[in-house]
Structure 1
Amino acid sequence: MLIFNLFNIAILALSNQVFATPIPGDNTLHARSPPPPPPPPPPIPPAPPATTANKSTVEIHPRIAPQVGPIPKIHLVPRHQLDNFAGEPVPPHRPHQRRDLPDIGQVVAYPFGKLPDFVKNDRYEWNNIQYPAYAFGRVLLGAKSYANAQPRTCSGSLVGPRHVLIARHCFGDKLADSISFESNFFEGRSGGKSYATDVITLDGLECQKTPKDGEEKFNCALLNDWAILILADRMGETHGYLGVKEFDTKTLMNKQPFSHVGFPNKFLYDKGKPLRQDGITVEKCYTSCDIPGDRLLTDADCQCGASGGPLFRMEDGLAWQYGVASSRFWDLTESQTPPDRCAFVSSTKFITAVAMARQQFP
């Protein structure tokens, strides 16, 4: 109760319009008028007219936070484990036909584009929105590196609802950053981006013989130059994906049924556009076509950034993949204008690996 009364007295004192001042030696409170209001502040002088000397432009660059995703988990699969999935079918999936309409002023999606005349090349810029266009994409290796304007990119293809087949050498010796797949990237437009949560690749090297020197070991490594990304999102259900088949050397050699799509990242090529080549011929196997899964040497053009792109063909409206772009090769005795021919990995192991990945990472 005492506190309440003191509070009321304080309120009454503050609401009084007369100020009380004690006088020394006198206990009587005398009233006086309120003090005069303070003088108004002096006016702010007007700013001097702008001149060339005092003009300055400050550009504000907001901080762009890097897109950081998870570091995927690596699964090194023993060869004998893949044998359990031998013969499993790995069919493609074609989604419903898209009904996208181009915006006013947008160029209709047909294959246009041309590289400089002095570059020997049979590829063309591919701007398309129909299956299997969205099953192809570029792979960004390291979101932190990309945010710092040091991108490392490869190519890849959807071979399952959330499974992407790429080249193993894209990772290098270590993997300490995120990996993402950007579907059908074309000048900033894409069918979406998803980070990889897992990576499946072969444990060790599968060689036809024990390598005797560094060159044979390098060739053996290229024979196993494939990996499978497991994405966080099921992009393939929307965009469709490719089936995977073994290359039949008796029926498909020296014909022109194949195509390739890749995303080059070097000078002379637009980094924001995929390049496609059709009418590709598999000319021979690297060592021997009697060796199952030997590399396929083709007349396809390829360049940095296209690694991991598919060697595929359309069969009854469905896309089937037969190889993964791995390396370039050329005859040093001949004078050729780059880019030269492209070698594709065509191992039965990555076919069974895709079958395993679809079951274990549905």
Structure 2
Amino acid sequence: MRAEWPGPSGWRGLLGRPGHYGWQEAKGLSLASGLPWLVVLILAALPLLISSYAVFNLMDQILILGVFAMSYDILLGYTGIVSFGHVLFFGTGAYTVAIILKHTGPGLGFLLLAVFGTVLISLVISLVIGYLSLRVKDVYYAMITLAFAELFAIIAEKWRAVTNGSDGFSFSIPHFLEDPTLFYYLILVFAVLTVILVRRFIHSPTGRVLLSIRENEKRAEFLGYNVIRFKLISTLVAGVVAGLAGIAWALQQAFVSTGVMATDKTIDALLMTTIGGTGTLYGAFIGSGLTNFASDRLSSLAEHYPLLQRWHLIFGLLYILIVLFFPGGILGFFRGKRWGRGHGAAERGYRRVKGERADGPVNGGGKD
């Protein structure tokens, strides 16, 4: 029997159900589950302690790019897919909301329309790119996604009547978003909700199969799973999350240019995911926090210390050191030290996926 779906069909299969498919094991993650909520509480209290616009601006960027990096982690950390064109979805979200609000005005209804449009466009682009690219593997897939990203970047550059090319354009955002404190809280809520939904997706039966594909694609296919279909699902989810991060980025800047389509943003997502720890979800935010804070501080110090004017080189050296001494990322390193017994859930879940029959249910916990 060929198992096309490892559990309940439809949305129940995609998102799973509490108490099933490894959610029982999540109860044992006392430290791992409590620590993120403690961080959220600290972040929520931040405006009560600090009123600096620069701090809010930096925290907004850390959270938004953390969501973007987390979307990349769905591909790299949980499915084993390396993409060099992931920025395509980020840029699509940014341009969609910017173009709609520029031509309609800063109304809440138009903002919701932009969100819906971004989700729809991201799904269509992910479906097309996935269908054309996922039949090849490894470096070939990475190069095809890079080609698509460059194609869309060229379109954004040349279609000046709409995008104004590399000069970009500004647009008006809804008035309630102009309050930096309120905007910060909205971004924090957006990040938390996105993490919860993505985490549930990873803990679903579909997520279990993605883990098995990451570790041994041929074995997953031998068990009867349609590997291409599950990779496509991973691409769709990652694309939508990246598109939503692009919307948040454009709203935070109130400006958009071809820079949101630059390939280096995909590299940034790769670095943030690797530094924080692939296959962890939370590691994306750790990587985003470290890279953005380091970039902000080093660039500021470079104005006073000539030695730091080459801060990009220093930052590159720091990245090399982290990769050498923390090959599993920072969060992966601490999990290797067994911060809580529940961190073995991912491996138990993966072993269960490997050991199940093709027509059987998939159980196990997630890495996060």
TM-score by length of 2: 0.22
> Greater helix percent: which structure?
2
> Greater strand percent: which structure?
1
Q: Which has the higher contact order (CA 8 A, sep 6+)?
A: 2
TM-score by length of 1: 0.23
